[in-house]
């Protein structure tokens, strides 16, 4: 399924604009820091048919399609009043109180734009809430939860004066389990991630704050995500470029771009181009990715901003479709930040000498300002809370060039009653992986042990969450780091609950001590009714993981506890995938994966352990038996020193996550979509709700592109329904799932099962409900690289409904298009 480059070239290699010599010259690799002189040509690396990114110019202009017309006209009037210097600086971030800042223009009553992290909270914000992380929210498989969480997070951002939230995250998707920041994003599946993106963006933007879909695209490793520079020469000597994600056209569409199509369809205000290169060319100056895929094929009407320091050129980035460089007034070289920007004054000069057209500059500002008017941010928007400034590590106060207008109170308390919701979300996103011998829920135990260094309070400081030894892990570090105004920890929450039952509680939080000493010489000589072991696994932006086991000698801790205790219940707080060898231990009766669950983590897990909440969450990835079972290794440890030697070949193509395990029939410990409940569910009678449409066309009718692409792709072509029932004794939420197996006529490499629908339904014991799955055209199509369109294949589709990617209860076979 390789895209024929000659064909793509013929279709898409439009004439490059005449920009002087900037865009297509070989790069002067010895001196990348000079404005406009370091430009990587679009097609430097032609190592295979898919390590190649064709040039696509010019950058499409915003036309307001899809409901943005009025906002665009307001933006036009605004842009008409700007000088070209003001325009140039609006496309360039300036140092200021927020993580990213667009300069205020008091003359026009414009107080600037405040761009803030992050996906789980206001980064390091005072008096603000810490919500459940992205991976936790995805594990809930709950559209309402996703929307509500995003809406509440955005309310807090707005009250602190943020105009743009730097999130949600549609990539990294989780090609590799070692990726350090998959917890910020959602699921190792494009469909589920797409739904999460859409609900999150709607939730944020309905609260009046712009969302930012990041990171575009194929950003699947932290290792060498940025170029390396020589340690001398003020960090301008270029040693090796950032890693290139090399992928074929079909994989691009069906896996990595898929969730971004949902994001654009949800009218996301901006997209962030990523650090990595894509098929040889930096994603922030990759005209195929930005001009063609994002702005033409998906009809994106917002603006593209760079990730912080991901800009490596001026003109080339602008012509390739990037609209805003961040943080702008500063340029990042590796870990070093220097003053000056490829944009800013350099951009004014390029406008003045005709290298960049005023037309293009106007389009950049129009794109930046349209979402602002679309969301009514010009009317009574809260000012930036002065307290965010000193907490902002990106630009220290002494670097601010503009006088920021701090009106209104500082250290505003924006939390409202969000903790109630966060507690509910924390239990709704806890995945019950194992539950034997009636271990859970707990029933008035007489004697319990709470063990593990993840059970207790943060006793080692909480300003900057790090990989600390003691304390529950409910969030992680770097740009996703939060400040807790309080943190409910498991020890405290369970102890409070246990007191009601008169339970004896013993706690041992020192992992080293547990392993070295053993519980038999620590605890009272009586078999506990239950031993709750809390374990964690830290991962954060900037570094990939080097192992998948839980941290702090966790496996040995479980073995030590289980040796003493025949009812050992393990809870993990982790950023993502962990191997769980202890699942085979006869005394480990229950396992729960809670991920990073935010400020109510302790209360939320207590609710599940005691059965006040019946768990319903499902794994958003695969837990394999062994680390070595996973495919798609990261590119690490490149020994050669060539400038472009960091190449990551996505040779697994569509076989990402469960798609790989299924294609090769590899047994797994816990599959994608799996999760237990305190009750049991049945599903039967999967059937067509209406007659299968035998006459739909294989290719979608060509229609003018709307945000999200050809609107025909989003039309429901087929609706299935099935009956789900609660076959146990406790009320709960069932999460029926629908997977599709494409006909054998589909090109080789198509995974055996792909998620295409899910629902979450409340059922009392004995109750039955009909659930339906609307299949959109895109859901039953594959990306045809020759037609450059989504095609519904001929032949028999198998639709499989059940409760995980390996637990199908009812199947329906049918054809959709005439042969």
Ligand X SMILES: *[C@@H]1O[C@H](CO)[C@@H](O)[C@H](O)[C@H]1NC(C)=O
- Could you list the active site residues? 307
- Sole residue written with tokens 């064909």: 7
Cβ atoms within 10 Å of 549's Cβ, excluding its own: 16
- Sole residue written with tokens 């994603």: 283
Give least dist CB 180 to ligand X, A: 27
**Using the rule CB under 6 A, which residue among 73, 76, 143, 563 binds ligand X?**
563
Is 77 among the residues that bind ligand X (CB under 6 A)?
no
Is 9 among the residues that bind ligand X (CB under 6 A)?
yes
**Using the rule CB under 6 A, which residue among 485, 798, 814, 815 binds ligand X?**
798
Residues 6+ positions from 21 with CB-CB distance below 8 Å: none
Is 510 among the residues that bind ligand X (CB under 6 A)?
yes
* Distance, CA of 581 to CA of 61 (rounded, Å): 54
Degrees to nearest 5, angle at CA 186 with 275 and 651: 60
Query: Which two structure tokens, joined as six digits, stand for 451?
Result: 């063990």
Is 513 among the residues that bind ligand X (CB under 6 A)?
yes
Closest by CA to 452, choosing from 605, 657, 625, is: 605
**Using the rule CB under 6 A, which residue among 48, 585, 680, 788 binds ligand X?**
585
Q: Which is nearer to ligand X, 353 or 521 (CB)?
A: 353
**Using the rule CB under 6 A, which residue among 353, 526, 546, 628 binds ligand X?**
353
Residues 6+ positions from 638 with CB-CB distance below 8 Å: 224, 240, 645, 646
SS (H, E, C) 580-645: CHHHHCCCEEEEEECCCCHHHHHHHHHHHHCCCCCCCCCCCCCECCCHHHCCCCCCCCCCCCCCCC
Query: Which two structure tokens, joined as six digits, stand for 228?
Result: 């390396």
Is 405 among the residues that bind ligand X (CB under 6 A)?
yes
Is 813 among the residues that bind ligand X (CB under 6 A)?
yes
Check: CB of residue 235 under 8 Å from CB of residue 227: no
Is 589 among the residues that bind ligand X (CB under 6 A)?
yes
Degrees to nearest 5, angle at CA 122 with 116 and 468: 115
Q: Which is nearer to ligand X, 396 or 704 (CB)?
A: 704
Name the residue number minimizing CB distance to ligand X.
Answer: 340
Q: Which of residues 420-479 bind ligand X (CB under 6 A)?
A: 437
**Using the rule CB under 6 A, which residue among 48, 49, 296, 485 binds ligand X?**
296
Q: Which of residues 10-49 bind ligand X (CB under 6 A)?
A: 13, 20, 24, 33, 35-36, 41, 43
Interface characters, 105-124, with ligand X (x: CB under 6 A): -x----x-------------
Give least dist CB 420 to ligand X, A: 34
With CB under 6 A as the rule, give the number of residues binding ligand X.
57
Residue 273, CB half-sphere, CA atoms under 13 Å: how many? 34
Q: Which window, 120-128, 187-195, 295-303, 535-543, contacts ligand X (CB under 6 A)?
A: 295-303
Closest by CA to 496, choosing from 417, 419, 603, 605, is: 603
* Distance, CA of 651 to CA of 213 (rounded, Å): 26
**Using the rule CB under 6 A, which residue among 27, 51, 58, 60 binds ligand X?**
60
Interface characters, 604-643, with ligand X (x: CB under 6 A): -------------------------------------x--
**Using the rule CB under 6 A, which residue among 83, 401, 460, 527 binds ligand X?**
527
Is 667 among the residues that bind ligand X (CB under 6 A)?
no
Give least dist CB 415 to ligand X, A: 25
Check: CB of residue 383 under 8 Å from CB of residue 113: no
Give least dist CB 813 to ligand X, A: 4
For β-strands 796-804 and 807-815, DSSP reports them as antiparallel
Q: Which window, 57-65, 550-558, 609-617, 755-763, contacts ligand X (CB under 6 A)?
A: 57-65
Cβ atoms within 10 Å of 665's Cβ, excluding its own: 7
Cβ atoms within 10 Å of 512's Cβ, excluding its own: 13
Residues 6+ positions from 280 with CB-CB distance below 8 Å: 40, 42, 43, 44, 45, 46, 51, 52, 53, 244, 246, 644
Give least dist CB 485 to ligand X, A: 26
Is 349 among the residues that bind ligand X (CB under 6 A)?
yes
* Distance, CA of 771 to CA of 401 (rounded, Å): 57
Q: Which is nearer to ligand X, 36 or 681 (CB)?
A: 36
Interface characters, 297-326, with ligand X (x: CB under 6 A): --x---------------------------
Q: Which residues bind ligand X (CB under 6 A)?
A: 9, 13, 20, 24, 33, 35-36, 41, 43, 60, 63, 65, 104, 106, 111, 232-234, 295-296, 299, 331, 340-342, 344-346, 349-350, 353, 355, 405, 407, 437, 510, 512-513, 516, 527, 562-563, 566-567, 585-587, 589, 641, 695-697, 704-705, 798, 811, 813
């Amino acid at each position: 399924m390789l895209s024929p480059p000659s064909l793509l070239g013929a279709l898409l290699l439009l004439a490059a604009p005449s920009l002087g010599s900037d865009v297509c010259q070989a790069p002067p690799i010895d001196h990348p820091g000079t404005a406009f002189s370091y430009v990587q040509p679009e097609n430097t690396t032609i190592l295979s048919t898919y390590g190649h990114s064709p040039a696509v110019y010019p950058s499409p202009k915003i036309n307001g399609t899809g409901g943005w017309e009025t906002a665009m006209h307001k933006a036009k009037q605004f842009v008409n009043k700007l000088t070209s210097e003001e325009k140039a600086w609006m496309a360039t971030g300036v140092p200021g109180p927020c993580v990213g800042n667009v300069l205020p223009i008091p003359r026009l009553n414009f107080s600037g734009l405040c761009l803030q992290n992050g996906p789980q909270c206001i980064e390091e914000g005072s008096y603000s809430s810490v919500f459940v992380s992205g991976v936790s929210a995805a594990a809930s498989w709950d559209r309402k939860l996703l929307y509500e969480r995003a809406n509440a997070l955005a309310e807090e951002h707005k009250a602190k004066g943020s105009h743009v939230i730097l999130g949600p995250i549609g990539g990294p998707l989780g090609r590799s389990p070692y990726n350090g920041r998959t917890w910020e994003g959602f699921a190792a599946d494009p469909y589920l991630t797409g739904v999460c993106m859409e609900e999150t963006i709607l939730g944020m933007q309905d609260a009046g704050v712009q969302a930012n879909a990041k990171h575009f695209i194929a950003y699947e490793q932290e290792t060498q995500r940025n170029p390396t520079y020589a340690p001398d020469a003020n960090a301008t000597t270029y040693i090796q470029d950032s890693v290139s994600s090399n992928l074929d056209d079909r994989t691009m569409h069906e896996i990595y771009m898929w969730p971004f199509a949902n994001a654009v369809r949800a009218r996301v205000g901006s997209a962030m181009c990523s650090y990595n290169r894509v098929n040889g060319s930096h994603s922030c100056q990759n005209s195929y990715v930005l001009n063609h895929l994002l702005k033409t094929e998906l009809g994106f009407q917002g603006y593209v901003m760079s990730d912080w320091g991901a800009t490596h050129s001026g003109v080339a980035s602008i012509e390739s479709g990037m609209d805003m460089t961040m943080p702008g007034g500063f340029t990042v070289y590796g870990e070093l930040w220097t003053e000056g920007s490829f944009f800013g004054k350099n951009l004014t000069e390029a406008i003045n000498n005709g290298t960049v057209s005023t037309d293009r500059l106007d389009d950049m500002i129009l794109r930046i300002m349209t979402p602002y008017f679309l969301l009514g941010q010009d009317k009574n928007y809260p000012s930036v809370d002065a307290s965010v400034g000193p907490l902002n590590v990106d630009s220290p106060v002494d670097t601010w060039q503009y006088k920021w207008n701090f009106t209104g109170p500082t250290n505003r308390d924006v939390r409202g009653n969000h903790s109630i919701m966060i507690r509910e979300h924390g239990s709704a996103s806890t995945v019950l992986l194992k539950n034997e011998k009636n271990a859970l829920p707990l029933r008035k135990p007489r004697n319990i042990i709470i063990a593990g260094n993840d059970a207790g309070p943060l006793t080692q400081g909480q300003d900057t969450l790090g990989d600390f030894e003691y304390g529950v892990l409910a969030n992680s570090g770097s740009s996703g780091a939060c400040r807790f105004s309080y943190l409910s920890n498991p020890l405290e929450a369970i102890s409070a609950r246990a007191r009601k039952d008169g339970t004896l509680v013993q706690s041992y939080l020192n992992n080293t001590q547990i392993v070295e000493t053993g519980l038999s010489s620590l605890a009272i000589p009586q078999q506990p009714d239950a031993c709750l072991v809390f374990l964690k696994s830290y991962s954060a932006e900037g570094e990939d993981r080097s192992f998948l086991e839980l941290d702090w000698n966790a496996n040995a801790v479980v073995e030590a506890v289980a040796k003493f205790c025949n009812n050992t219940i393990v809870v993990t707080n982790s950023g993502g995938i962990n191997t769980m060898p202890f699942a085979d231990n006869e005394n480990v009766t229950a396992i729960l994966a809670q991920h990073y669950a935010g400020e109510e983590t302790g209360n939320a897990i207590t609710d599940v352990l005691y059965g006040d909440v019946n768990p319903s969450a499902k794994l958003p990835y695969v837990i394999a038996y062994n680390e070595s079972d996973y495919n798609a290794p990261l590119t690490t440890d490149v020994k050669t020193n060539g400038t472009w030697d960091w190449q990551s070949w996505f040779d697994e193509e569509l076989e990402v996550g469960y798609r790989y395990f299924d294609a090769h029939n590899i047994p797994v410990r816990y599959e994608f979509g799996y999760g237990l409940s305190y009750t049991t569910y049945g599903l039967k009678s999967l059937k067509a709700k209406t007659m299968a449409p035998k006459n739909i066309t294989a290719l979608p009718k060509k229609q003018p592109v709307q945000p999200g692409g050809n609107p025909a792709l989003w039309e429901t072509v087929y609706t299935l329904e099935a009956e789900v029932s609660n076959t146990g004794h406790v009320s709960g939420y069932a999460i029926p799932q629908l997977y599709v197996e494409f006909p054998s006529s589909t090109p080789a490499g198509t995974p055996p099962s792909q998620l295409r629908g899910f629902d979450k339904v409340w059922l009392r014991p004995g109750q039955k409900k009909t659930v339906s799955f609307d299949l959109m055209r895109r859901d039953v199509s594959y990306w045809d690289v020759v037609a450059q369109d989504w095609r519904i294949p001929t032949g028999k589709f198998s639709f499989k409904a059940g409760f995980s990617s390996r637990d199908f209860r009812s199947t329906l076979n049918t054809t959709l298009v005439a042969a």
